[in-house]
Amino acid sequence: MSNIEIIKGLYQAFEQGDMPSILDVLDPNVEWIESEGIPYGGTFIGHEAIVNGVFQKIGAEWDNFQAHVDEFLDAGDSVITLGFDSGTYKATGKSMQAPTASVWTLRNGKVVKFVQYIDTLKVVQAVSG
């Protein structure tokens, strides 16, 4: 399976909320970097840190959160995705659609590093009351 096919499958698992399939693709010591300036921004290492610091917070704080990918780009050991995240922040009722670019680095079929670049202003506008 190509790196692009692996990442496409990962996004399908995200869409279905299939946590076992998501974690299966992530190396146990994966480095996950969310853009600073958003509520769950920062660097998270390993499955537990990512689930608790990112995935559960998104699930608890957003309605209809989705990561849309318009383009998958092959960059050798990495896959670059271009698209946008969307959802409605529960506490404010404000919706957002924020452009994103992400870099997924893979080794032996597992994601070892994820770096997100997102329009943080769009996110902050949605979470600000």
pLDDT at 62: 97
pLDDT, residue 39, reads 87
pLDDT tens, residue by residue, 59-91: 999 999 999 999 999 999 999 999 999 999 999
Q: What is the mean pLDDT of the chain?
A: 97
User: Is residue 122 assigned to a domain?
Assistant: no
Residue 124 lies in a domain: no
- Structural domain contains residue 35: yes
pLDDT score recorded for residue 81: 99
pLDDT at 19: 96
CATH code, domain with 71: 3.10.450.50
Residue 74 makes CB contacts below 8 A (sequence gap 6+) with: 2, 3, 4
Residue 57: inside a domain: yes
Residue pair 68/84 in contact (Cβ under 8 Å)? The answer is yes
Q: Please list, in sequence order, all residues whose beta carbon lies within 8 angstroms of the beta carbon of residue 105, skipping any fewer than 6 positions away.
A: 77, 78, 111, 112, 113, 114
What pLDDT does residue 44 have? 98
Evaluate whether residue 126 is within a structural domain: no
When divided into structural domains, the chain yields a total of 1
Angle at 63 between CA 60 and CA 66, to 5 degrees: 105
Residue 20 belongs to some domain of the structure: yes
What would the pLDDT profile of 43-65 be if each residue is shown by its tens digit? 999 999 999 999 999 999 999 99
Segments forming the whole domain that contains residue 7: 3-82+101-117
Establish if 113 belongs to a structural domain. yes
Residue range 19-47: mean pLDDT, rounded: 96
Residue 128 within any structural domain of the chain? no
